[in-house]
Amino acid sequence: MAKWIMVVDDDTANLQMAGHILSKNNMRVTALKSGRAMLDYVKEKGTPDLILLDIKMPEMDGFEALKQLRQLEEAEGLGEIPVIFLTADENTGTESRGFEEGVADFIRKPFNPDVLLKRIDNVISMQKEMLNLKSEATLDKLTGFLNKAATGAELSKACSSGYGALLMIDLDSFKLVNDIYGHEMGDKVLISFARIIEDTVPKGSKNGRIGGDEFVSFCLGVDDEASVAEITKQLNEKLLKSAKEMMGEDMNIPLGTSVGATFVPKHGNDYTSLLKLSDKCLYVVKKNGKHGYSVYSTDAFADDEITQVNMDIKGLSEILGERNISNVALQLDMDAFSYVYRYAVRYFVRNNINMSKVLYTLNQYEGTTAEEYRDACDEFGNHLRESMRKSDILTRSRYNQYYVILTDIREEFIDRVVEDIISKWNNSMNTKLNITYETEFVRNEGGRILEKGNKHVVIVDDDDMSLQYAGKLIEEEGIKVTTFNSGEALVDYISSVETLPDLILLDINMPEMDGYTAYDEIKKLGGDAARTAVIFLSADSDDGAEVKGLSMGAMDFIRKPFIPGVLKLRVNHTLELVMLRKRYHKGRQEQQGDK
């Protein structure tokens, strides 16, 4: 099928040139002259494979058009269309802003036909790969619903930002289908039931399968018991009809569905907490005849010890202890810590605050008894609480480990703070501990969390000055850097190293083994090595070098001498794609391992 490319530019000559190049290469082209026309077209006619979007246009520029496109996609439940910006602007600030707002690539005007085609092909290929990996990693293969892990992630977003009802849906007497008719029929029933849920809940709802015959649905806009009752009624009627069609009219298994429902945000917006409430309701239905529903209410499910008396904010704050917060760090158990941790990370992102994670491990000191060691581990927690600020939080992950979040801290102060805490312990306590620690600094830049040490880039260049300069710029981003002076050294490294780098920056023009040859040799190694992401570096102004590099499978091409902002941006942008690809691969492997 021909690729469908939408070109949006207020300059008719640019539209004609792009249209000619793309049409000549068997692509379907839609040419539009404004951002508003693009939005209207997508809403009425559907989504292209890719949009080439000019930045500088009257009335609505490319940035605003991109922003409104993403809003439209979310509102209409459309997949995200990859966008490449077209620009004659050499300002690196424009490129920086574009990548931060989610653009897939930049193409400079006037464009070279071969470069235009290769960059379009690269973006579309990457998009398809990501969609396939995402599908495999996040979807339940049998029903096509979100799998358990993806359900948690997607419904957490839905619950935190929308309103509706969170439904726990369970098939009643499903085991009898497998026992009497076999697992193949059981699978058919599950597939059919998934379609029934999809057809019954409101448009825009999100559905997941979290167990064998357990489903979850965030029913968008459902906020009253009558709607829950109607959904439950339809689910039972349609399920019974479908089952009889598949197993025959004489099927007498009491097949049905039970539903537990909690309204969002009336009873909160945290998915995990809401799911527990819906599960309580489901249990009530199961105890009382099945094939029905139960809706959570604080009156019906209130704990005995809670007095149902309305309070003002002052009284409730006093009960919660707001007036008497100790001047120590906050220690929580692991369950509570996980909620606070997620909130803290969101808060730090929104407010551009840095933080550091610290894991203390306490080992027994020679000459101390097991009892003394245990007591010292307990006491060390008190020491941490008293030594840190009350804006810091900690939890005890094991009896001899404490996991700490230091908030709003500069990277150069972390080791000093940690070692000071250990020094004070050793100087003031009778019982000694062998204390080790590891840290992970999390720097927030413009809403993007960058975790130091998680990414590794190899740079290869026979020019020492260029190599050192590129290495310094990448290290400033908190990224581990390894450097080589030749293609041969790179190939030897890749063929022998245990953990592969995330990205290779590879100069093309090197003696003996040039960058193209080195890349070919790496691909011949096969496996993960052959899939290592590469960005070619070159001082060659000929567009042919860029076309050849992209044709070989490189993810990008950067010209020398480096513009610092451009190098950092394109490396970070590529690494984000690489990390996303790795997460999807990992999710797919974990899903296959669970089976």
> Mean pLDDT, 10 residues at a time, over the chain (595 residues)?
90 91 92 94 92 93 93 85 86 76 85 88 82 72 88 87 92 91 94 96 94 94 95 96 93 93 90 91 87 85 43 52 57 76 74 83 86 86 85 85 87 86 83 87 54 76 90 89 92 88 94 93 91 90 83 89 84 83 63 52
Predicted pLDDT at 63: 93
Q: How far apart are the first and last CA of the chain?
A: 34
545-552: long-range contacts, CB 8 A cutoff, minimum separation 24: 545/508, 546/115, 546/118, 547/112, 547/114, 547/115, 547/118, 548/516, 549/508, 549/515, 549/516, 550/115, 550/118, 550/119, 550/121, 550/122, 551/118, 552/516, 552/519, 552/520
**Integer Cα distance of 114 and 21 in angstroms:** 9
Please report the sign of the dihedral spanned by the C-alpha atoms of residue 11, residue 17, residue 18, residue 20. positive
Kindly state the DSSP code that residue 233 receives in the 8-state scheme.
Answer: H
Chain-centroid distance of CA 591 in Å reads 17
Q: Smallest Cα–Cα separation from 286: which of 308, 259, 267?
A: 259
> What are the two backbone dihedrals, phi and then psi, of residue 396, each rounded to the nearest 5 degrees?
-100, 105
**What is the model's pLDDT at position 591?**
54
Q: What tokens were used for 192?
A: 């059919």
Using alpha carbons, list the distances in angstroms from residue 469 to 83, 129, 214, 465: 31, 33, 56, 6
Which segments within 118-181 are labelled E, that is strand? 164-172
Given a contact cutoff of 8 angstroms between Cβ atoms, the answer to whether 469 and 463 are in contact is: no
Whole-angstrom Cα distance, residue 442 to residue 97? 21
Report the pLDDT value the prediction gives residue 448, as an integer from 0 to 100.
41
Is the distance from CB of 146 to CB of 140 less than 8 angstroms? yes
**Residue-level pLDDT at 590:** 55
Looking at residue 435, its pLDDT comes to: 92
Closest by CA to 140, choosing from 461, 581, 591, is 591
CA 378 from chain centre, in angstroms, equals 36
Q: Where are the beta strands (DSSP E) in 424-514?
A: 433-445, 448-451, 456-460, 480-484, 503-507
| Cβ–Cβ < 8 Å for 457, 484 | no
Listed as own residue / partner, the contacts of 554-562 with beta carbons closer than 8 Å and 24 or more positions apart are 554/519, 555/122, 555/126, 558/505, 560/466, 560/507, 561/466, 562/466, 562/469, 562/470, 562/473
CA distances from 86 to 36, 121, 541, 570 (A): 17, 16, 20, 16
- Phi (first) and psi of residue 560, to 5 degrees: -105, 150
pLDDT of residue 136: 67
* pTM (predicted TM-score): 0.50
* Dist CA 228 CA 368 (whole Å): 62
d(CA 551, CA 122): 9
Helix 183-200 vs helix 225-247: angle between axes, to the nearest 10 degrees? 150
Going by the DSSP 8-state scheme, the letter that residue 388 receives in this structure is S
